[in-house]
Structure 1
Amino acid sequence: MNTATYETAGARTVAAIAARGLHKSFGEKTVLDGIDLTVEQGTILALLGPNGAGKTTAVHLLTTYLRPDAGEIRVAGQDPEKNPQAVRRAIGVTGQFSAVDGYLTGRENLKLMADLHLLPAAVGRRRAAELLERFELVEAGDKPASSYSGGMKRKLDLAMTLVGDPKVIFLDEPTTGLDPRSRRTMWDIIRGLVAEGTTILLTTQYLEEADQLADRVAVLDGGRIVAEGTPAELKARIPGGHIELSFADRTALDAAATLLDATGRDDDALTLQLPGDGSVSTLWTLLNRLREASIEVTSLAVHTPDLDDVFFALTGRKGA
């Protein structure tokens, strides 16, 4: 295939990751059935799908660990079939399971990666020191990694991925098992990498993570990409957005219910639900009708579909 390009600021730019018609089977089981993916430079694509959908297989194909049965791939402009070493030099991979050696210190883990990248000893030491500081691991840098918390190990794991200064990073469920605070710390680190121009393909079990981080989302199910777009575009495809109004007493609730075309009512909570996209014009129109009828609203909330709703609508399952 020709290297995939896209328009940016009037110029044509080579995509960081491009795949066309990828097929992969194991025996009689088809795992990927002709998927296409394009990830622009300096962006994040989140690849979502139920367990067994083929997310990890797709990552293995794109990172040269496996070869496709059919289809073509370009990563950082390189063809992994013809020049796998060039692809490996351009990428970093953080898998579901940490690559950290618990017997080594954090600094020793980083220096080991520097040796594997054939960096000169002085450069490796300097790179290790820079990454320990960047990931706020300086104080723990000379302690065995086995003593690290889960969040610290994941930070060290990602730091090890960065030793070779990759242009493209594959993050395969990087925050699995982390507590909410550690997960958000990792999100900040990932955002920082993208701000510096790094391209990331992310697979995740956490739909909120994809919503927070991804520029685009691709949903994989049954070996095919069943939907792709920005998080906002995907959520806009799913019905179910509504506006919830709360009232101080039953009289106000009854009056509003008579005035408005409510789709739901909770007499105990004194709330009404109405269909609506939550746009400013919709809210103004609604509030003006209530004000003209002298009906006082105590609170208003807008509920819109999230990626969990999208995922369920596309795959018939909740969660990734």
Structure 2
Amino acid sequence: MRQDSQAHDHSAVLIEQVCEAIAARAPLFIRGGGSKPFPGRQVDAAPIDTRAHRGIVNYDPTELVITVRAGTPVSELDDVLDDSGQMLPCEVASFGGAATVGGMVASGLAGPRRPWVGSVRDFVLGCRLITGQGRHLRFGGEVMKNVAGYDVSRLVTGSFGCLGLLTEVSLKVLPKPRATRHIEVDMPAAAALAQLAAWRRAGLPIAGACHDGATLHLRLEGGVESVRGAHARIGGAGADSTFWRALREQRLSFFDDARPLWRLSVPPTAPLIELPGPCLVDWGGAQRWLKSDASAKVVRELAQRLGGHATGFSAVASGEAFHPLPAALMRYHRALKQQLDPYAIFNPGRLYADF
């Protein structure tokens, strides 16, 4: 079992800062590594920095659970797990070592393996949170359970810091696969989506599928024989693993385009349609990255036509990065915000202008 020094427990300092902000009714902008300024609106508030609050709280590899402080770099978490032959399956980006665990959970942004293993939310077992009343509460734990009718640890995942300040997270981890193989198959994108649907029905051990406009990149994971058999069935040339790291860290040449970056989240079976700019098809078709100068209205209408929604991952003309919510759903968001952050202290306007 591993436990780091308590010297990096800065929760008392963070609680004091939050209480001072509440007393002054002065909003706070929660800052981790600053690796994800987008998606979301810019927050005009005093920063509260979580990076000093870091380290492993508890890790027993036999239990497949790790508890870490929010300011811990994702790269450090990955290294600790790797030393024990384990991993966080949702494969989040470290963005050059800047990304923190708190930012990982607050953004909920998973990597290429997500459709086959689950989202960041699926691996969050519990958390500690400083609320808008200045209380330091624990939700969930090192087993799955609800508290007071809400699974708050799941609700804060993807909330972009609007519900409270994360100080600690318990995560479910898994052993690394016994065998991994990376292959490339030259085929058109439409044919690739059809093949992926057939391979999905056949239960092939695919754990990554991305089409870059000319080539289908596949990652196979599982038992040795299962991976070998799948490669024999699919064909294609062997490749190395560098593509997947570059994809999750947004370092492929596709992302160098200066135009705004959009993420379209659609059903994996959604047809390929002409989009106003270059497109990278990830998640076996369910995530489509788009580089485009088109207006937010045009991009969102295209996403809706495909049965999904669009999120701006860089500055967008409308100022609203996230797809507008129906009025009824926005009421639920406001009610939850009111319960956890009644004075609107945390990241006001990050998700939506009036939230």
Tell me the TM-score normalised to structure 2 length.
0.24
Tell me the TM-score normalised to structure 1 length.
0.26
Question: Larger radius of gyration, structure 1 or 2?
Answer: 1
